[in-house]
Amino acid sequence: MSNIPITSTQSADSLLRALGEQLAAAGAAFDVVVVGGSALLVLGLASRATKDVDVLAVRTGGSLVSADPLPPALVEASDRVARDFGLPADWLNSGPAGLMDFGLPEGFAERVEVREYGPALTVRFASRFDQIHFKLYAAVDASTPGKHAADLRELSPTRDELIAAARWSLTHDPSDGYREMLERALEYFGVEDADLSA
């Protein structure tokens, strides 16, 4: 069993194609939003290997709804892919779905990059701009910020992009403690004295 199954665009695409095939064989179809390291790999925005595919949302009737919990048919298909490829059971997970609770960055749905993995699986990958938002928030909020900070650095965000991301992240955690850590993170990325009022 591999702890880091996704090492390239090709390996991510292979897993998602296999997932699409399993869904088609089961007579199920899904349209999902993917964020995180695997999305960065697929879009050629980062090179760091990752251990999973993070599903943020499922598109239903034109709307995005939280992927937590993942729909049973999607879990069953991902379990078959895990078995076939020797992957951890949670290689496909809804870990970041909590980001839906307080809202996505404005215009998120219009910026996604859409890819089809057969007739049964559509994947909407978060854009570079939105990944900057998520990675800054994760770098500040996570107990192990290193990989998120490394991903963020690889995205080469501009000052304006970082400020936009910081303002959005404050809608998820407006606490004084978070703001203080956020300001330190911005300084780390070369942004000082930023006006974080929306």
Confidence of residue 3 (pLDDT cuts 50, 70, 90): low
Residues 6+ apart with CB under 8 A from 58: 30, 31, 32, 33, 64, 65, 66, 67, 71, 74
Alpha-carbon distance of 24 to 118, in angstroms, equals 8
Q: Is the pTM of this model over 0.85?
A: yes
Listed by start position, the domains of the chain span 9-126, 129-188
Residue 177 is predicted with a pLDDT of 95
Q: Which whole number is the average pLDDT over 2-7?
A: 69
User: Could you check whether the bond before residue 69 is cis, i.e. omega within 30 degrees of 0?
Assistant: yes
Query: Is the separation of the CB atoms in 122 and 90 below 8 Å?
Result: no
- The pLDDT tens digits of the residues spanning 163-194 come to 999 999 999 999 999 999 999 999 999 999 88
- The pLDDT tens digits of the residues spanning 23-81 come to 999 999 999 999 999 999 999 999 888 999 999 999 999 999 999 999 999 999 999 99
- The pLDDT tens digits of the residues spanning 101-160 come to 999 999 999 999 999 999 999 999 999 999 999 999 999 987 666 889 999 999 999 999
Residue 54 is predicted with a pLDDT of 97
